[in-house]
Amino acid sequence: MIMDLCRENLAGMRDLLKDGEVSAVDLCRAHLNRIAERKSLNAFITIDGERAIDAARTADKRKQAGEETGLLAGLPLAVKDNICIDGQPTTCASKILDKFIPPYTATAVFNLLNAGAVIVGKTNLDEFGMGSSDEHSHFGPVKNPHDLSRTPGGSSGGSAAAVADFQVTAALGSDTGGSVRQPASFCGIVGLKPTYGAVSRYGLTAFASSFDQIGVLTRSVTDCEMVFRVICGRDEHDATSVRSIYPDDYSGDLKSAGRMRIGIPTEYFGEGLAPEVGAIVEKTIEELARDGRAIRKISLPHTKYAVAAYYIIANAEASANLARFDGVRYGTRVDSGQLSALYRESRSQGFGVEVKRRILLGTYVLSAGYRDEYYDRAQRVRTKIIGDFEDVFSSVDLLVCPTTPTTAFKLGEKLDDPLAMYLSDIYTVPASLAGLPALSVPCGTANGLPVGLQIIGPRFAESRLFSLATEIERLAGHRRTGV
């Protein structure tokens, strides 16, 4: 019964709660038990069972009293541990934030709580969101529930693994260059990176501020849309956020999904794409064409520069953002007599290898004599990439491509080769550079491992993404069941 409860999606759990077949407390306890049983995945850094049970009891009391409840009332969710919750540790999977407890709650989490969600804990990640495998964590690597010898992807691998393994119904992650979409693909779930500005970044620990977005990981497209509906919108605490223009009803987009013009970027189907992954994605595209959608090959000519431009700009922003972690105000502090030594020793002992690498690279590209050569040139490339997307969206409604060039790779396989690790984001970083919404949806399996298909849309076209993703989800389901 516990496992049956955990396997329900958000909509199914809402119905069970509404009909009184289970209580929010029952639901919460079932998921806490599942987390305990599957502790070996290392998906969570912090579990707050007592607080979660209290929140579930409150949800039950409100329902019994006939009070109006929120869209997510009584439903167990998780939050990536670089997103702040008042009174709960936020570690960013780093030693440097040891014992740090924020005095405020991120706006996205606040919106979840207002909708009645029950937050059961904080999930594991690559330190400060810097990684593509969840191996760069002070708390150890996360394992992929489909194959414990493989990575769940990163940096939101803890959130993705927890959702895929039925430990929670949904989870928040953060996506800077693919950190929601890549683990969603590797774990066989749905992952949304919203349009830049669609969701408030207040309370999200900054990695690269012009890229960072809080995203959603779920087991179905409907669930993803439900959580996004709750967290999107303007926030006075975040000047980059915008007034919500997400429709209350996207049935119009669902009805028009069959008439959508779909672009297939040729640059995403070349060298580096594993044949078995390409075959699954191309099969899905063929099925979309058979259902009457107009499929057009298009070109994004500056894609080949995207990874290089992203890692220059993102690391430059990281070097500035992480300067605040100095051992003086909070977190790890190594007293060394002199102030300069305190900074040096606190940061040397507090940061992991990958974070140090990125800080050094970011500082280098911003240094005198190199800024023009690297950082300014990368920003010009970013403008070209934005222009590529603007050009193609004048003739197509959405783009479809692989989310990742391979299925989940082995733990340790790319750990000593940073360039190979960075290239696993080759299909996700272009949308991040352009600030566009992108969603990964499962479209099949290759050698027993999930394959994700990525849908990219114009700014604030999330409803289009959900409508096409719903159709792809249906096609993938038919293939699995032989219908």
One-letter amino acid of 293: R
Q: What are the φ/ψ torsions at residue 16 (nearest 5 degrees)?
A: -60, -40
Look-up of token digits 């360039």: 419
- The answer to whether residue 304 is catalytic is no
Count other C-beta atoms under 10 Å from residue 349's C-beta: 13
**3-class DSSP state for residue 173?**
strand
Which helix (H) or strand (E) segment holds residue 46: the answer is: strand 44-47
Task: Report the interhelical angle of 275-290 vs 462-481 (nearest 10°).
Answer: 100
Strands 118-123, 76-80: pairing kind: parallel
Choose among 31, 403, 6: nearest CA to 184. Answer: 403
- The catalytic residue among 94, 133, 137, 155 is 155
- The answer to whether residue 155 is catalytic is yes
- DSSP assignment of 101-149 equals --SS--HHHHHHHHTT-EEEEEE--SGGG--SSS-S-TT----BTTBTT
Q: How far from 386 is each of 176, 182, 393, CA to CA, in Å?
A: 16, 21, 11
- The answer to whether residue 395 is catalytic is no
Contact assessment for residue 458 and residue 396, using Cβ atoms and an 8 Å cutoff: no
First-to-last alpha carbon distance for the chain, in angstroms, is 28
Q: What are the φ/ψ torsions at residue 347 (nearest 5 degrees)?
A: -75, -35
- The catalytic residue among 23, 63, 80, 241 is 80
Contact assessment for residue 146 and residue 185, using Cβ atoms and an 8 Å cutoff: no
Q: State the Cα–Cα distance between residues 267 and 286, nearest whole angstrom.
A: 18
Strand order in the sheet with 190-193: 44-47, 118-123, 76-80, 170-175, 213-218, 190-193, 438-446, 449-456, 398-402, 261-265, 294-298
Contact assessment for residue 126 and residue 157, using Cβ atoms and an 8 Å cutoff: yes
**3-class DSSP state for residue 381?**
helix
Q: Which two tokens stand for residue 40?
A: 């070996």
Q: Which residues are catalytic?
A: 80, 155, 179
